[in-house]
Chain A
């Protein structure tokens, strides 16, 4: 016979234990997220070079000035193009590769490793490798075009403002598709074979089986991939900074690299803070529904 009184006492100490456990992550969160965000917000209302003893209060001027700068709009637009690209590009290529591979294909493990490997590489390494691929005179891309007689199409891939963003996205596709691929691949493996078999027996073509049966069941994987893509698009920094530093002539600049240049290149800390507040607001608007969804799953699970 269980001792109910003892058990109740145990569940009371559980509350204490939980509070003690949570105090460390909450402290870290308060010190490294809440405090710096509040402090950045405060700094964005000032003009400061990072050295002088007192920042000068300027109200909302930093925000207003940015709204009148085409350089700022250009970076916002670039972030939005990246968002669209990252939601669609690596996601659909990853899904395609995973769907093609999900048939007991020979060499499956080799394909899996080859598609996934680029994802493990540091952004700076991706940048170094692709700067070499895009080298205008003897890089791989130009060399291949020349060897098939299309040398005239070769461009200064990273040096031309109208091409640079596409070139960066190409390297990003190579880098991040592996993640989407693996999540979808694992998701497809999770679908019970009977569902697929049942559809086949009823005469569905592989195309129908995929879109009518597999794809809807992949929704949890899709949510993960899209959520990560949105977060990446807002945080995007390393690849751009290491490949073009936002150039040529700010053409490939995103908010994160513009903020870095403003803070640590021009030492306009207040202006830079205002850029990052804008970035946080944009990221919040786009990603908050996703976070809400993640947290809501808890509530649903508890309600069951």
Chain B
């Protein structure tokens, strides 16, 4: 019996192993490269003869500040975008009739907008607000451009909360706003967690707004710095791989830690 099962899963298993090796290879090679001295770097597959941490020192030197900027941009932007998504999703989940549907459709169309169409006016708008090359400017922009997706996500999440809870709360003397702040929001931890993970990836990884709206050490996030690093004429792959690995670590670790919440959130969003 067991051997029959083993034989049946042998082919899928070997396909999965091959796929996993291919998926892991670029990251493994990048990691090995980041630990090699310039003289060894062209021996791609070999292990480093001795660990060369100098690459990380160079990388830190060139992008340490922007790493901090990325944190300062991402954390508040995620919180604001969740809040706005919840504020917007709540009425849309509970409103009946055409009004709510029209607003919902209107906000959802934002999901199809390629950001290039807002890029030029946004640049001038942010500059005239005095927010060009500033971290609060990035908060505002990331929050605003998260409205469609966060609305979509939170509306669907709230719609899955039984409506009877809402009606019971109103009968017990709760105001609609009180229900939202005191009952619904505290009970929405899993949805908010899943959205927080999705949003931290989207905001941390953003390049377009970063290169359009920041220019100096004051506000440039790590993605823009790496893009500049990589496009210099003589690319040094050792320090570049070190910088790259540092830049991807926060989101990757977040996903590994909160995998379950993310999958649950996806199921909630996709399963209906």
Measured between beta carbons, the chain A residues less than 8 angstroms from B19 are 97, 115
Residue in A28, A111, A288 whose beta carbon sits within 8 Å of that of B143 in the complex: A28
**Nearest CB in chain B: distance from A218 CB, A:** 10
How far, in whole Å, are A138 and B180 apart by their CA atoms in the complex?
A: 58
Which parts of A278-304 form the interface with B (CB within 8 Å)? Answer: 279-280, 283-284, 287-288, 290-292, 294-295, 297-299, 301-302
A123 in contact with B205 (CB, 8 Å): yes
Measured between beta carbons, the chain B residues less than 8 angstroms from A135 are 237
Q: Mark B4-23, 1 if CB is under 8 A from A, else 0.
A: 00000100110110011001
B115 CB–A CB distance under 8 Å: yes
How far, in whole Å, are A128 and B232 apart by their CA atoms in the complex?
A: 12
B207 in contact with A128 (CB, 8 Å): no
B207 in contact with A280 (CB, 8 Å): no
B116 in contact with A291 (CB, 8 Å): no
B183 CB–A CB distance under 8 Å: no
**Nearest CB in chain B: distance from A76 CB, A:** 13
A29 in contact with B147 (CB, 8 Å): yes
**Nearest CB in chain A: distance from B76 CB, A:** 15
**Nearest CB in chain A: distance from B184 CB, A:** 12
Using A220-B272, A242-B227 as known contacts, say yes or no to A100 and B114 having CB atoms under 8 A apart.
no
**Nearest CB in chain A: distance from B131 CB, A:** 12
How far, in whole Å, are A259 and B13 apart by their CA atoms in the complex?
A: 45
A132 in contact with B29 (CB, 8 Å): yes
A241 CB–B CB distance under 8 Å: yes
**Nearest CB in chain A: distance from B70 CB, A:** 9
> Which chain A residue has the least Cβ–Cβ distance from B175?
A13
How large, as a class, is the contact surface on chain A? 35 or more
Measured between beta carbons, the chain B residues less than 8 angstroms from A84 are none
A120 in contact with B141 (CB, 8 Å): no
A237 in contact with B12 (CB, 8 Å): no
A302 in contact with B26 (CB, 8 Å): no
Which parts of A149-163 form the interface with B (CB within 8 Å)? Answer: none
- Tally of A-B Cβ pairs under 8 angstroms: 300
How far, in whole Å, are A47 and B237 apart by their CA atoms in the complex?
A: 42
Measured between beta carbons, the chain B residues less than 8 angstroms from A292 are 105
Using A32-B122, A129-B241, A140-B25 as known contacts, say yes or no to A124 and B84 having CB atoms under 8 A apart.
no
Q: Is the interface of A mostly helix, strand, loop or mixed?
A: helix
Measured between beta carbons, the chain A residues less than 8 angstroms from B96 are 302
Residue in B43, B120, B243 whose beta carbon sits within 8 Å of that of A43 in the complex: B120
A95 CB–B CB distance under 8 Å: no
Using A117-B27, A122-B207, A255-B116 as known contacts, say yes or no to A143 and B141 having CB atoms under 8 A apart.
no
> Which chain B residue has the least Cβ–Cβ distance from A43?
B120
Q: Mark A112-134, 1 if CB is under 8 A from B, else 0.
A: 01111110111111011111110
**Nearest CB in chain A: distance from B88 CB, A:** 4
Residue in B117, B148, B171, B267 whose beta carbon sits within 8 Å of that of A2 in the complex: B171
A164 CB–B CB distance under 8 Å: no
B117 in contact with A37 (CB, 8 Å): yes
Beyond A20-B177, A263-B120, 7 extra complex contacts between A and B, CB < 8 Å? A18-B91, A22-B92, A36-B121, A43-B120, A105-B9, A140-B26, A291-B112
Closest 9 pairs (CB-CB, A-B): A18-B91, A25-B88, A36-B118, A32-B144, A36-B121, A122-B205, A138-B42, A287-B112, A39-B121
